[in-house]
Amino acid sequence: MSETIKILIVEDAPADAEICEREVRKALGSCRFQLVETRQQYLSALSEFQPDVILSDYSMPGFDGMSALKLALEYSPETPFIIVTGSVSEDVAAGCMKAGAWDYIIKEHIKRLGPAVVNAMEKRQTLLTKRKAEEEREVAYKALDKALNDSITAMSKIVEMRDPYTSGHQTRVADLSAAIAGELKLPVEHVKYIRIAALIHDIGKIYIPSDILSKPGKLRDMEMQLIRIHAQGSYDILINIEFPWPIAKIAWQHHERLDGSGYPNGLTGDHILLEAKIIAVADVVEAMSSYRPYRPALGIEKALEEISQNRGILYDPAVVDACLKLFSTNGYKLEG
């Protein structure tokens, strides 16, 4: 062990403190010790001496071991705390351990103190190493999450470059989809991946000629068929990316409808993912509310009327209800 190890002894009997020092030196070699017996001395030592291990008597006239333990857990929770006492019942010993003590030593078995301190130091090092690894994993996770979000944003921008007339559409759909998911009380992680799916649900539009995407006036049947391939195109692109969520299937199904009238697969009811049902409603509301090359904006009232009239027919009832509540009760507004 390093000779810089610092041992704080909470003890009102100097002779007993000397015995503790002797036993610890046998196990660790040269150490630094500090003896305290009052609460104020103890608090000062925690902040200034910053011990590696705390040895505390259980029963003292002015400052007891349980009080010392509570303060240690508050100010220095990673510091091993060992009760060293003349006598203690099994119930008291169990209470000390339950309260957070690392070990307890009966003074008549003081030779156990050295090995107990060594064991506590090793356990502390293991905990610190584990915590450091967890912190490094957290940093790596945040970096990976940022890279994922940056990649998703870049993919979304690609669609906007191909279809400038719907610039911001995916972002607005993503915001509304996340709000609906939140209103449905879905878990935070669930809401997160619904937002991601919505941000890139139209990525398949890169397969569609830009002159069709920006064509004013009504589209011909063949042009409409080309437009409809974007859902399949989104799936074909996204299925090759190993997302931890079913992003490709969600994008694939965002134009499916409950009654089977949607595309590309004519799915019905429960065969459609909930996430796709959410994005479907958000997509319709945003699209109808916004300007398109082939028509002026119809407005939010018309959009909400559409999903209300087709509640349970084309659109999931719970999703529709959540969306309507956002606008009617919560004051939600489409931005941009």
- Catalytic residue numbers read 205
What single letter denotes the amino acid at residue 216?
P
The alpha carbons of the chain give a radius of gyration, in whole angstroms, of 33
Instruction: Quickly count: other Cβ atoms within 10 Å of residue 261's Cβ.
Output: 12
Strands (E) in 64-173, as ranges, are 81-85, 103-106
Angle at Cα 257 formed by Cα 251 and Cα 261, nearest 5°? Answer: 120
User: 271 near 260, Cβ under 8 Å?
Assistant: no
CA distance readout (Å), 197 to 193, 275, 290: 6, 8, 21
Distance of CA 224 to the CA centre of its chain: 41
Contacts of residues 111-114 at CB distance under 8 Å and 24 or more positions apart, as own/partner, are 111/23, 113/20, 113/23, 113/24, 113/27, 113/55, 113/82, 113/84, 114/23, 114/24, 114/26, 114/27, 114/28
248 vs 236: CA distance, rounded Å: 8
- Three-state SS string over 48-89 comes to HCCCCEEEECCCCCCCCHHHHHHHHHHHCCCCCEEEEECCCC
Structure tokens at 262: 């949607």
Report the half-sphere exposure of 15 (CA within 13 A, side-chain side): 2
